[in-house]
Amino acid sequence: MTRQSSEEAAAKAGVVVRELREIDEFREVYRLFDQIWHPDPHNAPVSVELMIGFAHTGNYVAGAFEGTTLVGASVGFLAEGGALHSHVTGALMSRGIGYALKLHQRDWCLERGLKKITWTFDPLVRRNARFNLVKLGAMPKAYLEDFYGAMTDAINEGDVSDRLLAVWQVAQEDQGRRDVQVETLPVLLGSEDERPVVTGVQGDVVLVGTPHDIEALRRTNPAAAKEWRTALRTVLGGLMGGGGRVVGFTDRGEYMVVVN
């Protein structure tokens, strides 16, 4: 696909994305993240002091502004292997602001000769998997069990913090549009009445499903949500731990995994 510019994406989202430098701006980011996640006050995603340190030492702290109002932000730090690790990114509205921030990150990395951006995401959240794998073209490289330990924010509370480590090779042309439609592949993890079903099928390439909306399921049926966590850890985590590679994400919400 044609590489879209960060300026074009920002204009389409109705925002301006820029790096942040001032203490008051970092305080705005802190308030924004608090509004999005409602975390425990003792366990905020990132502190004002840490953002100050990151920005001062050449790391990434950026915000998306609608006029003078901050509506999205992203904080990351330099990592080994010529990478930026995107620690936290959030936006108040789902209208392309997160995409604009990611493309701004990509340009920031390219200007500094960095090769890739890494971040973690909850493998149960289907919309995030689709955004990361299909929209951006990042690929999961590792399944990380309970990566952050117990989390007490309004979105994750009551669930363990299993994550996938995503790697986006920004120096290559965009690798997006992996929204694969493969009707004939065996489904190793499916769904029935909102609950996970492990079929035990085998194949060189298998599909591993996700719940339609895990965040809603945590509220309406916590037992089913926990079943999904256990099933995905066992199936997807087991496959990746054994050398399996996630190579796509279907339009039905399934990871496509090449099994070694």
Last residue of a domain, one of 143, 169, 195: 169
User: Which CATH number characterizes residue 145's domain?
Assistant: 3.40.630.30
Last residue of a domain, one of 111, 137, 169: 169
Cα 105 to Cα 78, 125, 229: the distances in Å are 12, 22, 30
pTM for the full model?
Answer: 0.90
Q: Is the pLDDT of residue 180 over 80?
A: no
For residues 104 and 218, state if they share a domain.
no
Last residue of a domain, one of 123, 143, 169: 169
Q: What's the pLDDT tens digit per position in 115-167?
A: 999 999 999 999 999 999 999 999 999 999 999 887 655 555 557 899 999 99
Q: Please state, for a pLDDT cut of 70, what percent of the chain lies above it.
A: 92
Q: Which amino acid is at 196?
A: P
pLDDT of 158: 58
For residues 45 and 156, state if they share a domain.
yes
For residues 128 and 188, state if they share a domain.
no
pLDDT of 109: 97
Q: Is the pLDDT of residue 94 over 70?
A: yes
For residues 27 and 155, state if they share a domain.
yes
For residues 136 and 20, state if they share a domain.
yes
Angle 22-60-7 from CA coordinates, rounded to 5°: 90
Hey, what are 238's tokens? 């087991």
pLDDT of 128: 95
For residues 42 and 149, state if they share a domain.
yes
Mean pLDDT, residues 183-189: 92
pLDDT of 177: 54
Of residues 179 and 23, more confidence is placed in: 23
For residues 36 and 152, state if they share a domain.
yes
Mean of all residue pLDDT scores within the chain: 92
Q: What's the pLDDT tens digit per position in 224-258?
A: 999 999 999 999 999 999 999 999 999 999 999 99
Q: Answer yes or no: is 126 within a domain.
A: yes
Residues 183/224, Cβ–Cβ less than 8 Å: no
Q: Answer yes or no: is 23 within a domain.
A: yes
pLDDT of 1: 40
For residues 88 and 188, state if they share a domain.
no
pLDDT of 2: 47
For residues 26 and 138, state if they share a domain.
yes
For residues 46 and 79, state if they share a domain.
yes
Q: Answer yes or no: is 80 within a domain.
A: yes
Q: Answer yes or no: is 22 within a domain.
A: yes
Return the number of other C-beta atoms located less than 10 Å from residue 216's C-beta. 12
pLDDT of 153: 56
Return the number of other C-beta atoms located less than 10 Å from residue 176's C-beta. 17
Query: Structurally, how many domains does the chain consist of?
Result: 2
Q: What's the pLDDT tens digit per position in 47-83?
A: 999 999 999 999 999 999 999 999 999 999 999 999 9
For residues 128 and 212, state if they share a domain.
no
Distance CA 106, CA 212 (A): 29
Q: Answer yes or no: is 174 within a domain.
A: no
Q: Answer yes or no: is 129 within a domain.
A: yes
Backbone φ and ψ of 155, nearest 5°: -85, -40
Q: Is 40 left (phi over 0), alpha (psi -120 to 50) or beta?
A: beta
Return the number of other C-beta atoms located less than 10 Å from residue 133's C-beta. 28
Q: Answer yes or no: is 97 within a domain.
A: yes
- Provide the domain limits for residue 52: 6-169
Q: Is the pLDDT of residue 4 over 90?
A: no
Written in H, E and C, the secondary structure of the chain is CCCCCHHHHHHHHCCEEEECCCHHHHHHHHHHHHHHHCCCCCCCCCCHHHHHHHHHCCCEEEEEEECCEEEEEEEEEEECCCEEEEEEEEECCCCCHHHHHHHHHHHHHHHCCCCEEEEEECCCCHHHHHHHHHHHCCEEEEEECCCCCCCCCCCCCCCCCCEEEEEEECCCCCCCCCEECCCCCCEEEEEECCEEEECCCCCCEEEEECCCCHHHHHHHCHHHHHHHHHHHHHHHHHHHHCCCEEEEEECCCEEEEECC
Specify the range with the lowest mean pLDDT, choosing from 146-155, 182-191, 199-208. Answer: 146-155
Mean pLDDT, residues 184-204: 94
Residues 139/167, Cβ–Cβ less than 8 Å: yes
pLDDT of 214: 95
Handedness of CA 92, 96, 97, 99 (dihedral sign): positive
Q: Please state, for a pLDDT cut of 90, what percent of the chain lies above it.
A: 82
Q: Answer yes or no: is 53 within a domain.
A: yes
For residues 206 and 79, state if they share a domain.
no
